[in-house]
Amino acid sequence: MKQSTAIERLSKLKKMVAKEDVTAALVLVTQAVNETARSLVEVKRIEAERDVALMQIREKHDVYRRVFDQLFSERRDAISKHFEIIDKEIASNNQELILGALQGLGQIVAASPFTNLKLLAQVLEGNSKLEI
Amino acid sequence: MRGIEVAGLFKDIVTFGAAGRVEAAEKRYESIVDEYQRLEGRVEVRRAEAESTFKLLVEEKQACVIELARLREISRNLSAREREFSAEAVREQPPSIGLARIESTLTAADAATSAAHGAVAGASTAMGAWALAGAFANASTGAAIANLSGAAAQSATLAFFGGGSLAAGGLGVAGGAAALSTIAALPALAVMAAFSHNRANKDIARFEEESVKIQGAMDAYLKLELLIQISERRASELHRVLGKARDAFVHQYNATYQSLFRWGWLSKAWRWLRRLFGGSYFKVHEVVEVQELIQVAAAFAQLIDQRVFEPDGSVKETTS
């Protein structure tokens, strides 16, 4: 009973909608589906490129951070050794070694860490100039 | 919540999925904006931390200069001949060279103090310009000092503190900020209006375009963060070194002073009388002692002169 009613309704609809319109609608839907697929591929490509670029930026700065952690750690160790000499020689009042330690400290702090930044930037960023 | 999901589903059906794609692009864009803003906040925190460290360094340098200036009490009694006397025991250059170095340090500090109208320790003051960027180091005349003082004030002492030229100009953060304001102007309803894929593509392309700009700004901000961190650590290192060097100098100064003026004002009076009657203020072995102290003071002055930034507030590969 129900099946016959549905068939009757479809028959009525068939009379109301032209065949050409149905074909045109199908063509439109197909075009839309194709366009969607094409756009999706393009968007995915852009996204992937952006993600890679972001990852490279993060990794580059991570390398900078690690290098400078190491660099400052080495400088701190060298400075501490000079401090030990100063403390020891102040106790024994050895002017010559105190002077030597002060001059040594001068050499360490005269070497700017920004020099290392420039060198590192050249390595990590090729020929591009690091604007600082 | 369910209502929103149903509405979203309806929009997707009506637009053949275009609205969903735009929403997804917008969400991706928003996540990048979030990351950028977090980074921006982090940089501000770092800047504040760095300023605290800079302030400590300025204070330490001021304390060092006060100690170094005490040397004048001894060195002013050296005769012209004694200043050029190169004792074999010292094996170094005559004291005049070390004294010139020390005077250069003290003069620069005096000029900064005058320009600061009092010994203010703030990092973005004339004292900050001297302590952090070595400004006033070449100020030998009143006019030059006045010019330097003006220049320091003009550039807010250091471009760094305002995030001015470093952040805005060199690093292109302004571009990133502009990108943010542009995208903020996009009406939320624009997404609702994206009923065609062409329109959706345009919207997605805009999000992607803005994302790329923000990505560039993030790179710039990460560089700025790195520079702030390096500057802060350098300032901290100098602060630490100067503290110890000051201890060493004070020890050496006190030892020499005690040796020269064992009886306090009586020793000074005796030496003064000796000079009055044609003798020298210091004996030869005492001149050697003073020379040794001058060497220590010159090394101390060299440490005081170390700077974090260039005089114009920038950072370059060499700062010494």
The secondary structure element, H or E, covering residue B215 is helix B197-260
Contact B246, B67 (CB under 8 A): yes
Would the CB atoms of B222 and A57 count as touching at under 8 Å? yes
Residue type, A34: N
- pLDDT at position B256, please? 93
Q: Burial-class residue B95 by CB neighbours within 10 Å (0-12, 13-18, 19+).
A: buried
Please give the C-alpha separations between residue B312 and each of A113, B115, B163, in angstroms, as whole numbers: 18, 16, 13
pLDDT at residue A104 greater than cutoff 90 = yes
Whose CA is closest to A95, among B198, B289, B46? B289
CB atoms within 10 A of CB A40: 12
pLDDT at residue A88 greater than cutoff 90 = yes
- pLDDT at position A106, please? 94
- B274 vs A9, which has greater pLDDT? B274
- pLDDT at position A119, please? 73
Would the CB atoms of A76 and B237 count as touching at under 8 Å? yes
How many C-alpha atoms does A70 have within 13 Å on its Cβ side? 8
Q: What pLDDT digit, counting tens, does each position of A44-82 carry?
A: 787 788 788 888 888 888 888 898 899 999 999 999 999
Q: Residue A115: which pLDDT band, with cuts at 50, 70 and 90?
A: confident
**In a mutagenesis test of the A interface, which of B60, B199, B210, B244 is the best target, namely the one with the most A β-carbons within 10 Å?**
B244
Whose CA is closest to A104, among B232, B241, B76? B241
Contact B106, B81 (CB under 8 A): no
- pLDDT at position A2, please? 63
pLDDT averaged per 10 residues in sequence order, chain B, 320 residues: 61 64 80 86 87 89 93 86 65 74 82 65 63 58 34 36 34 32 32 48 77 83 84 92 96 93 89 86 86 92 86 51
Would the CB atoms of A36 and B17 count as touching at under 8 Å? yes
- pLDDT at position B189, please? 31
- A73 vs A24, which has greater pLDDT? A73
State yes or no: ipTM above 0.85: no
- pLDDT at position B312, please? 57
Would the CB atoms of A57 and B320 count as touching at under 8 Å? no
Interface of A with B in 4-23 (CB under 8 A): none
- pLDDT at position B3, please? 62
Task: Report the predicted TM-score, pTM, of the whole model to 2 decimal places.
Answer: 0.71
- pLDDT at position B146, please? 34
Q: Residue A98: which pLDDT band, with cuts at 50, 70 and 90?
A: very high
CA distance B189 to B212: 23
